[in-house]
Amino acid sequence: MEYITGKREEGCIFCTKPPQRDRLKENYILHLGRHAFVILNRFPYHTGHLMVIPLRHTDEFEGLTFEEHAELCVLLQTSLRALKQVYKAEGFNLGMNLGQCAGAGIREHLHYHVVPRWTGDTNFFPTIAQTRSMPEILEQTYERLRPCYRALEAEGVLAPGGHALLEGNP
């Protein structure tokens, strides 16, 4: 209900959140790179539902630069690994909705959804009551996943960008 009836923020949230360096944890940003970032979905379908998003404001997938596309792909791969490691995900829904008619909730800034799945994880709540049952609050999800991204940054697998998470920043 918060998503449906809540106050909408001004501007594009995918553009305003990353520069808020002192609020990265509060904004659930797991990794901030040179061309893209990873953020938890504030209104998830499942625990661990995250998004991988280019930093540049665009709604045109075909207009992504090589560097943007490459970093998005690396972040998608590492996000799958993190979700397998932390949540023992058995499968994933991975994709994006481009345009309002395709179901894009924020159509002006493209973004990938990464939704972990498990055998037998469906329940009747979404069908009967338009309600989702979440076994974990977002703060806990962030605390479980952030160390995976921190480790990958330390190993050099993920290169932090100009807006990178600072050492000592959660």
Residues with active-site annotation: 111
> Which residue in the block uniquely carries the two structure tokens 């959804």?
113
CA–CA distances in Å: residue 75 to residues 61, 71, 78, 79, 89: 16, 6, 5, 6, 17
The one-letter code for the residue type at 112 is: Y
Burial of 3 (0-12, 13-18, 19+ CB in 10 A): exposed
For 92, phi then psi, to 5°, come to -150, 150
CA–CA distances in Å: residue 10 to residues 5, 7, 15, 30, 137: 15, 9, 11, 23, 25
